[in-house]
């Protein structure tokens, strides 16, 4: 009796074989060890297994239903020597439907989540040739299928470069709004109080309480309730400077600047008092260099830096008469 899927099987068939084997109550520790080794052999193995696992969950309602494709598959699998145990019917259905239906360009599609850790950036090339560049501490959930291309912004900031397809819309859901591509490259940034959208190339349609088109060089924000808000003192180049590892501020409040800088570091940065937050900052700073950024701010503003702990910094008034 075969205990490990044959290397001659397709990766998809191996993934299904492992899925059923691991779920079996008769699975041995040796088989679990072999499964872990198989996963580590190739990124393709892990992707195939995750797809099969998601496919299995999606098909849960169909596993006890009778229909021609399933019945035919069962008749075929009845002759097989594979050890499908009690999952044979569902496994046959997986193969009968075919994994291609669950691929990003297939009829059903399987959602995938992508994450950039704090302080990092992550570029993902999607199945249609589009790309998503995730900024620090960001997450998106991508669901492509035969008809649509949908992305949900879970948190953070992302830059989208979209391969346009009028028959298969590319849409980004962020907060209370929906951003629809009309052939473009654009930025979406979810902040606590609003969502920012900036267009570098082409056109996007932004729909919240109202609908508006943005062209290259334009940007807007909408509140958590869906109301459009004007942006002042910002441009697209400044908003997307993080892609080159920079933060650009033009006459921004100090408390706002520190909130942006803090997104890239595990160190807590706070002000001695609220009045310091009203100070204005202009300049370009590198996202990875916290010390250099704070030293530069202390040079141009009447503040001093106090390291009160390994992961906490307080900016205090440097002028004895300053309030």
Domain boundary among 76, 102, 128: 102
Mean local confidence (pLDDT), 279-285: 95
Q: Give the position of tokens 């370009």.
A: 284
Pair 272, 215 in one domain:
no
Among the candidates 70, 102, 134, a domain finishes at 102
Whether 151 and 202 map to the same domain: the answer is yes
Same domain? 56 vs 117: no
- 194 and 287 assigned to the same domain: no
CB distance 11 to 44 below 8 Å: yes
Q: Does residue 212 sit in the same domain as residue 95? A: no
Give the contacts of 315 (CB within 8 A, at least 6 positions apart): 254, 258, 269, 270, 271, 272, 276, 294, 297, 298, 303, 304, 305, 306
- Indicate if 96 and 186 belong to the same structural domain: no
User: Quick one: pLDDT band at residue 321, thresholds 50, 70, 90?
Assistant: very low
In a domain? residue 4: no
Total tally of structural domains belonging to the chain: 3
Q: Are residues 24 and 92 in the same domain?
A: yes
Residue 1, in any domain of the structure: no
What CATH number has the domain bearing residue 165?
2.60.120.1440
| pLDDT at 4 exceeding the cut of 60 | no
pLDDT at 8: 42
- Assigned domain for 133 exists: yes
| Whether residues 204 and 280 fall in one domain | no
Question: In this structure, is residue 5 part of a structural domain?
Answer: no
Domain residues for 289? Answer: 245-317
Q: Which residues pair with 166 in a beta bridge?
A: none
- Same-domain status, 219 and 142: yes
Per residue in 201-231, pLDDT (tens digit) is: 999 999 999 999 999 999 999 999 999 997 7
Domain boundary among 52, 74, 102: 102
Do residue 276 and residue 311 come from a single domain?
A: yes
What pLDDT was estimated at residue 168? 85
Report which of residues 319 and 313 the model is more confident about.
313
Whole-angstrom Cα distance, residue 44 to residue 203?
35
**Alpha helices (H) along 252-309:** 254-262, 290-300
What pLDDT shows up at residue 81? 43
In a domain, 228, yes or no: yes
Structural domain includes residue 182: yes
Q: What is the CATH number of the domain that holds 261?
A: 3.55.50.30
- Residue 197 maps to a domain: yes
Is the predicted pLDDT of residue 99 greater than 90, yes or no? no
Query: Looking at 78-87, 174-183, 271-280, which range is the least confident one?
Result: 78-87
Q: Is residue 36 part of a domain?
A: yes
């Amino acid at each position: 009796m075969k205990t490990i899927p044959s290397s001659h099987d397709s990766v998809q068939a191996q993934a299904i074989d492992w899925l059923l084997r691991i779920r079996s109550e008769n699975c041995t520790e040796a088989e679990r060890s072999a499964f872990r080794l198989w996963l580590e052999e190739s990124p393709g193995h892990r992707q195939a297994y995750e797809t099969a696992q998601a496919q299995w969950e999606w098909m849960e309602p169909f596993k006890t239903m009778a229909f021609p494709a399933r019945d035919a598959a069962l008749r075929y699998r009845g002759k097989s020597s594979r050890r499908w145990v009690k999952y044979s019917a569902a496994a046959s259905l997986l193969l009968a439907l075919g994994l291609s239906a669950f691929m990003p360009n297939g009829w059903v599609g399987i959602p995938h989540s992508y994450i950039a850790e704090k302080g990092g950036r992550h570029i993902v090339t999607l199945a249609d040739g589009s790309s998503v560049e995730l900024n620090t501490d960001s997450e998106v959930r991508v669901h492509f299928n035969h008809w649509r291309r949908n992305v949900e912004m879970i948190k953070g900031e992302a830059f989208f470069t979209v391969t346009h397809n009028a028959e298969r819309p590319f849409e980004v859901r962020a907060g209370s709004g929906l951003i629809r591509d009309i052939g473009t490259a654009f930025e979406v940034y979810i902040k606590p109080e609003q969502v920012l959208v900036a267009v570098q190339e082409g056109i996007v349609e932004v729909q919240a309480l109202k609908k508006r088109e943005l062209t290259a060089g334009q940007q807007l924000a909408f509140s958590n309730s869906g109301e459009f808000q004007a942006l002042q003192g910002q441009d697209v180049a400044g908003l997307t400077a993080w892609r080159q590892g920079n933060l650009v501020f033009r006459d921004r409040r100090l408390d706002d600047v520190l909130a942006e800088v803090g997104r890239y570091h595990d160190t807590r940065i706070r002000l001695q008092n609220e009045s310091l937050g009203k100070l204005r900052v202009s300049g370009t700073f590198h996202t990875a260099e916290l010390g250099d950024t704070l030293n530069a701010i202390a040079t141009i503003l009447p503040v001093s830096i106090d390291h009160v702990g390994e992961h906490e910094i307080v900016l205090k008034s440097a002028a004895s008469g300053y309030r």
